[in-house]
Amino acid sequence: MQYDQIARLGMVLLGCGKMGSAMLAGWLKGGLPPSSVHVIEPAPSDWLRSSGVQLNGALPAAPAVAILAVKPQVMGDALPRLQELGTGTTLFISIAAGTSLARLGETLGKNNPIIRAMPNTPAAVGCGISALVGNAHATESHLELAEALLAAVGETVRLEDEAQIDAVTAVSGSGPAYVFHLIEAMAQAGEAEGLAPDLAMRLARATVIGAGQLAAGSTDSAAQLRINVTSPKGTTEAALKVLMDEEAGLPPLMRKAIAAAANRARELAQ
């Protein structure tokens, strides 16, 4: 991890809610000196207060990195706080949905290296995935630094174009909620078949967690993993005939859901 430059020049973290806290915890665990981190957070948690970082104080003139981790709704009010850092030497990384590179550049200065990243909530347990894309001033070194920082909370992928970030938001950014709803739906269906609510929820939750771990540890495709547990003319096949129906099954429903999320992300960017 490239902490030497950050330790020497400092880092600014604008916003330290759930995602910001998850990232900060990963960096501190990885050896980043708390004293090199300057956090701007109007409602700091007890953990943040005791973390050893510099909280709501004066900012370094030219930090190595400035992370924008506020909610999209307050980005417009929060961004001007960092305008004074826009000298061309600080790397800005935004994890806010709906705020384009162009809009960030208009406020921070168009000559600054800026990277947009879209992490997801499993970052809180070190199992997130973040997609990154940079502006014209973001060099390979900038992208590598951003990847190293975001690797503290999970995997990273690079996008070819900023236009892809709305699809990323719809698939992985919002995706954990789809999985949580799958657990809900499986538990409700179990109840309908006569299981007690607590037992149905326990079975559904453990099944989704276990299947995820199987997928994570296997080199097989998702399709092959599905085939592996589907016996001909068995119970799983009977269920999959419903779920895989081309007109009313999960694939067309998921396409509609992903499209709705992506369209909303585009609307928020306007």
Identify any residues that bridge with 208 across adjacent strands, giving them in sequence order. none
Burial classification of residue 186, based on how many CB atoms lie within 10 Å of its CB (0-12 exposed, 13-18 middle, 19 or more buried): middle
Quote the CA–CA distance of 115 and 138 in Å, as a whole number.
Answer: 7
Q: How confident is the model at residue 79 (pLDDT cuts 50, 70, 90)?
A: confident
Rounded CA Rg of the chain: 21
Q: Supply the pTM of this predicted model.
A: 0.88
Please answer whether residues 247 and 241 qualify as being in contact, where contact means their C-beta atoms are separated by less than 8 angstroms.
no
Quote the CA–CA distance of 23 and 153 in Å, as a whole number.
Answer: 6
- Please state, rounded to an integer, the average pLDDT across all residues of the chain: 92
Contacts of 209 (CB under 8 A, 6+ apart): none
Please answer whether residues 258 and 170 qualify as being in contact, where contact means their C-beta atoms are separated by less than 8 angstroms.
yes
Please answer whether residues 205 and 183 qualify as being in contact, where contact means their C-beta atoms are separated by less than 8 angstroms.
yes
Structural domains of the chain ordered from first start: 3-165 (3.40.50.720), 175-268 (1.10.3730.10)
Q: Which residue has the higher pLDDT, 132 or 104?
A: 132
Q: Is the pLDDT of residue 1 over 70?
A: no
Question: What are the C-alpha distances in Å from 51 to residues 19, 36, 55, 256?
Answer: 16, 12, 10, 43
Q: Is the pLDDT of residue 3 over 80?
A: no
Per-position DSSP letters for the chain, written without gaps between them: --HHHHHHH-EEEE--SHHHHHHHHHHHHTT--GGGEEEE-SS--HHHHTS--EESSPPPSS-SEEEE-S-GGGHHHHGGGGGGG-SSSSEEEE--TT--HHHHHHHH-TTS-EEEEE--GGGGGT-EEEEEEE-TT--HHHHHHHHHHHGGGEEEEE-S-GGGHHHHIIIIISHHHHHHHHHHHHHHHHHHTT--HHHHHHHHHHHHHHHHHHHHT--S-HHHHHHHT--TTSHHHHHHHHHT-TTTSHHHHHHHHHHHHHHHHHHHT-
Please answer whether residues 79 and 68 qualify as being in contact, where contact means their C-beta atoms are separated by less than 8 angstroms.
yes
Quote the CA–CA distance of 13 and 130 in Å, as a whole number.
Answer: 17
> pLDDT tens across 123-138, in order?
888 899 999 999 999 9
Q: How confident is the model at residue 2 (pLDDT cuts 50, 70, 90)?
A: low
> pLDDT tens across 172-202, in order?
999 999 999 999 999 999 999 999 999 999 9
40 Cα distance to chain centroid: 20
Q: How many CB atoms neighbour CB 172 within 10 A? A: 20
